[in-house]
Structure 1
Amino acid sequence: MTDFTKTLQDTFGEKVVTLRGEIPEKYWNDWAGLPATEPLALARPSTTEEVSGLLAACHAAGVPVVPQGGLTGISGAAHPQADGIVLSLERFDAIEAIDTDAGTITAGAGVILETAQNAAADKGMMLGIDIGARGSCQLGGVLATNAGGNTVVRYGMARDHVLGLEVVLADGTVIDGMNTMLKNNAGLDLKQLFIGSEGLLGIITRCVLRLHPNPPAKATAFLGCADTASVIALLRAARGALGPMLSSFEVMWPSFFHFMSKGTGLGSPLDGEHGAYVILEATGFDAEATRGAMENLFEKAFEDGLVEDGVLANSVKEERALWAVRESPAEYETVLGPLVPFDVGIPIAKMDEAVTRIEAAVADAFPTARSLSYGHIGDSNLHVVVNVPEAGRAQPEKEIKKIVYGITRELGGTVSAEHGIGAIKRDYLGYSRTEAEIALMRTIKAALDPKGILNPAKSFDAGMAA
């Protein structure tokens, strides 16, 4: 393959193609924690034509291609193969247009999410996608994994924001679907094939996303509840009282909140301990009305016994303080150590059972284990991270996965709520999808990528891992 990669470099130039031995280590892995792997070559194209040419060459030679964005995924979808090339979209970093009349932003796949958010805000608009990795994740990766985040309860998953895509297929064919209209019902909605496909069907190069008027008013509450049943009743009450103003509803069970608030030194906004902790946020266009609606909800929830204690933020500084523990997972390595992370979806009615059973089963199997549970309960998303202290870097991953994914399957949940399947969940895809569904996915894959060069051995791809 040395001749092939050298030909790539000669064709596209050293600025675009870097050969093995010179590839920076940051491209050898993502956040999944798989063994670092240096690919044959790194391609960093800056134009759609270059992506098309690179893919056409790899298609002809049968060389695997792994697309990479901001490398913030935890499922291994961006993990390289030693016998393939990595294609990074980081140079597709231009925001091409913001149309405040149509409510759209047109941008390259390599634009950092926070950059897009700030650009929209400068125009008085808002991009409704928001995740913890906003400062480093890229739009292409957000769409390729159909990311969720903190505002799904109000604005939906990543796919709910997409109007148009430009995608390059495995053989180099460019699909120009840069639609800017909210209504376009001419034939199949092809963009949906690529959103959430983790780069197995085509590589997203550019996108058109919906924007919303930026609500200037915000009210943030931090509440302590007795148990999960009270949290679910509070969610129902919040939806009824706040309607479309409800923008975030996050829950932290004691396992997560007590451990991380102490471990990080951030402490708690509340006196005493509770059975569950909720961050509730409302946004609107009238500060008094937004604050009033939140206060009325808080008062009624307290009267009805749904809330034991709580505080409302009175400044941006206080808002950030209320979110601090929830946004502390970046401190896991320091506070918790090596871990096995989970991003599952559980029917809301079974959320309490899921948390109780998972934490108990892990403790039964590994008495010293620390299992932390939290998530975006308003959209059925549960995050669990597990650390077995004495195991060090050799965490008993298979045994823990068997427990968590087994309970998730029994409760009718999904093994992936917002981080995709990638390399580390492919053996568990059948826990959440039927054989017929997986077969159909593979049929589509074979039609669009007959040689199987795009992200092989990931997600629903039938290929064997390298």
Structure 2
Amino acid sequence: MTTQLIESLTEIVGSKGILTGEDVSQRPDGWMNAPQCKAKAIIRPANTDELSAVMKLCHQNDQTVTTHGGMTGLVGGAITSEQDIVVSLERMRNIVEIDTQNRTLTTEAGVTLQTIQEAAEADDLFYPVDLGARGSATIGGNIVTNAGGNRVLRYGMTRDSVLGLEAVLADGTVISSMSKVIKNNTGYDLRQLFIGSEGTLGIVTRAVLRLRPKPRGEATALVAVERFSDLSKLLSLAEGGLSGGLSSFEVMWNDFYSLVTSFERHKAPLDANSPFYVILETQGKSDEAEQARLEELLGEALEQELISDAILTQSVSERDKIWAIRDDIEALFSLSPIHGFDISLPIPAMEGYLENLRTDLLARWPESRMIVFGHLGDGNLHVIIGKVSYDEKHELDETVYRGLAPLGGSISAEHCIGHEKKPYLHHSRSEAELALMRTIKQALDPKMLLNRGKIFD
């Protein structure tokens, strides 16, 4: 049956559209310690019609399908078994249209985020979603994981930039809702079913993205903060003082900042002797105007003793060097074995949660190291824990996640659930919510063929 199925799939996508054998096994199922792909084959359709035919055939044969995007996920959302086939949209990499009047970009799902950003910029427009994996992460992957990144504070998550989309269901049915309008109040918003669904409800093939006017200027500063309570005060001051122009408010705890700047590739812009460091970035009508506004804001913050030191960048290269500190995740590998956690919780609850977590970690793993940084402005923290064996990951996961529910927090702020976080979903979702999620899954994929074993069993 497998041989017949592979032959039939090859007839649909052609010899260029299918990989088998070593071409499959040499590919990883994700990033950073991900296992190698175990699937029977990787199917690479060239268009929506081919994918529809592929899914119809798989549905008829009860064949499970796992979707692969840019493979930058961190929660095991693309892990395969020997029974699976993989669908990859790596051949669907066309930007269909840029509508400059309506400020929209229509694209196939295999296009990378960076390509979309560059295409928008070429037409003097701006696609605001941004993250470190921009060069390899695909827009389809961004959509089905509802990617966040550095500018959520101002522009929202990926779902806030998707006006319409097209998806293929498990049985091959094509759902095409390629709307270009912001307001479309016509019953259920079907696109939202697929955004953040991790490929469990359908495979997104095309999307209409909302573009924004390209900012004419920007300014960036790095500041030192002495008290956690001053972080939220500084955030409020910046949001008001910059008149809605604040695009990033990135906080690095001292453990992160001092570790990263200890490497020769970085020179610490500010001495590493403060508890917190914040990257403030504003976008607006001109570099000069934003520089002036940010400089005035820093003066106010110093007067109110919200910050103890600051540096306002004067060039693109200075700005890039500051962001390079924030984005240098490779420095954390010096604490290997490391475990990354992507959580969110209300800002007032963060300090107590982290203090309790650090206490619990040191009591159980005295040699462990906890590193914290993240998008504090939108409640998202990245917690990296090093010097704990991979064999103890389940116990470590439970230690990190169990304190979130009482605080109204989430076990996943922007990396979704996948396979890794599935056992802990009950910390963030009620039984009624989980039951409704299963009902939706049953309605759209009754045979449970799409990304089986992801989000829930």
Q: TM-score, normalised by structure 1?
A: 0.95
| Residue aligned with 2:83, SS | coil
Equivalent in the alignment of 2:443? 447
Q: Does 1:8 align with 2:4?
A: no
Contact kept, 8 Å, 1:96 with 1:106, in 2: the verdict is yes
Distance in 2 (alpha carbons) for counterparts of 1:324 and 1:17: 38
1:298-309 matched pairs, under 5 angstroms: 298-309=298-309
Q: Which moved more, 1:111-120 or 1:406-415?
A: 406-415
Distance 1:291 1:11, change over 3 A: closer
Equivalent in the alignment of 1:351? 350
1:172 Cα deviation from its structure 2 partner: 0.3
Residues 53-100 of structure 1 deviation map (CA, whole Å, 9 limit, x = unaligned) = 111111111111011110001011112222010101111111111111
1:61-460 matched pairs, under 5 angstroms: 61-263=61-263, 265-333=265-333, 335-388=334-387, 391=389, 394-459=390-455
1:345 Cα deviation from its structure 2 partner: 0.6
Residues 233-260 of structure 1 deviation map (CA, whole Å, 9 limit, x = unaligned) = 1111111111321000000111211112
Distance 1:46 1:264, change over 3 A: farther
Distance in 1 (alpha carbons) for counterparts of 2:232 and 2:116: 33
Q: Which amino acid aligns with 1:144?
A: V
Q: Which amino acid aligns with 1:273?
A: N
Runs of 4+ in 1 over 6 A off after TM superposition: none
Contact kept, 8 Å, 2:13 with 2:44, in 1: the verdict is no
Q: TM-score, normalised by structure 2?
A: 0.97
1:331 Cα deviation from its structure 2 partner: 4.1
Distance in 1 (alpha carbons) for counterparts of 2:25 and 2:81: 15
| Residue aligned with 2:327, SS | coil
Q: Percent identity?
A: 43
Distance in 2 (alpha carbons) for counterparts of 1:16 and 1:322: 43
Distance in 1 (alpha carbons) for counterparts of 2:82 and 2:163: 35
Q: Which moved more, 1:48-57 or 1:28-37?
A: 28-37
Contact kept, 8 Å, 1:261 with 1:267, in 2: the verdict is yes
Contact kept, 8 Å, 1:338 with 1:395, in 2: the verdict is no
Q: Which moved more, 1:85-94 or 1:281-290?
A: 281-290
Distance in 1 (alpha carbons) for counterparts of 2:291 and 2:297: 10
Contact kept, 8 Å, 1:340 with 1:386, in 2: the verdict is yes
Q: Which moved more, 1:11-20 or 1:450-459?
A: 11-20
Q: Which moved more, 1:284-293 or 1:159-168?
A: 284-293
Distance in 1 (alpha carbons) for counterparts of 2:48 and 2:25: 23
Please list every run of 5 or more consecutive structure 1 residues that lacks an aligned counterpart in the other structure: none
Contact kept, 8 Å, 2:335 with 2:387, in 1: the verdict is no
1:24 Cα deviation from its structure 2 partner: 5.2
Q: Which amino acid aligns with 2:155?
A: Y
Q: Which moved more, 1:316-325 or 1:13-22?
A: 13-22
Distance in 2 (alpha carbons) for counterparts of 1:68 and 1:38: 13
Q: Which moved more, 1:355-364 or 1:46-55?
A: 355-364
1:31 Cα deviation from its structure 2 partner: 1.9
Distance in 1 (alpha carbons) for counterparts of 2:366 and 2:244: 44
Distance in 1 (alpha carbons) for counterparts of 2:6 and 2:330: 37
1:352 Cα deviation from its structure 2 partner: 1.3
